[in-house]
């Protein structure tokens, strides 16, 4: 599947940079059920971009309210006070047998993944999270009595963790895949500078050269 500035993600912005469509997934080990969980995000929100705990937004001088705390970084760019707002949509799909109340609980964990990316859930942000399961395909049959299987609540923690990790990763994937675009009235949304991103991640010890990379 294409990621970045495609489809509904064409006009989106994330953390002041070009946003887009991002995906990610996790497969639980067989000991935890072997279930698969997939995420699709349409990034359109703001805050202070963080990747793997690294303050990317601060390092690049582009983050929400950077004008108010610009002394933190001399490169900071003044941001629109509403730049933390937007309407991010997150879809969570799984083959784990979950009933509607459990899917609602799963959807709520998407916000924790966004928080790990640096989202503040702005006042005007229309954050929409939905979740569905492909299990129990006969539950909606119009006649007879339907039987369904259900994962015990005590076994949902691995799915919660998978959701949080996948949302966090999908947002980054969307931004890394997006290119700079110019839209209506000449407004330009710049792509996240990947050379700078790599430099910063190395600075914080998140990226290291492979042992034989210089041979």
Tell me, yes or no, if 119 is annotated catalytic. no
Assess whether 125 carries a catalytic annotation.
Answer: yes
Q: Which one from 87, 95, 149, 185 is the annotated catalytic residue?
A: 87
Q: Which residues pair with 93 in a beta bridge?
A: 38, 132
87 in active site: yes
Residues 6+ apart with CB under 8 A from 19: 5, 9, 12, 13, 42, 43, 44, 174, 175, 178, 189
Strand partners, 131: 92
Can you tell me the distance from the alpha carbon of 181 to that of 47, in angstroms, rounded to the nearest whole number? 21
Indicate which residue of 25, 52, 95, 127 is catalytic.
Answer: 127
Active-site pick, 50, 119, 125, 133:
125
* Closest among 208, 137, 176, 211 to 9, alpha carbons compared: 176
Active site residues: 87, 125, 127
């Amino acid at each position: 599947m294409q990621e970045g500035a495609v489809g509904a993600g064409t006009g989106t912005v994330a953390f002041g940079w070009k946003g887009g469509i991002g995906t990610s997934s996790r497969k639980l080990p067989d000991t935890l059920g072997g279930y698969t969980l997939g995420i699709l995000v349409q990034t359109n929100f703001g805050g202070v971009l963080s990747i793997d705990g690294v303050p990317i937004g601060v390092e690049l001088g582009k983050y929400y309210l950077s004008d108010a705390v610009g002394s933190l970084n001399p490169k900071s760019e003044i941001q629109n006070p509403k730049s933390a707002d937007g309407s991010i949509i997150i879809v969570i799909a799984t083959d784990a047998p979950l009933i509607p109340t459990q899917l609602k609980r799963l959807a709520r964990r998407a916000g924790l993944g966004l928080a790990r990316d640096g989202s503040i859930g702005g006042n005007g942000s229309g954050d929409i999270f939905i979740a569905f399961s492909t299990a129990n395909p006969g539950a909606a049959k119009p006649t007879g009595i339907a039987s369904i299987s259900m994962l015990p609540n005590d076994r949902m923690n691995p799915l919660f963790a998978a959701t949080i990790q996948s949302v966090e990763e999908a947002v980054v994937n969307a931004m890394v895949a997006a290119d700079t675009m110019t839209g209506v009235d000449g407004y330009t949304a710049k792509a996240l500078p990947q050379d700078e991103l790599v430099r910063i991640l190395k600075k914080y010890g998140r990226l290291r050269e492979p042992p034989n990379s210089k041979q």
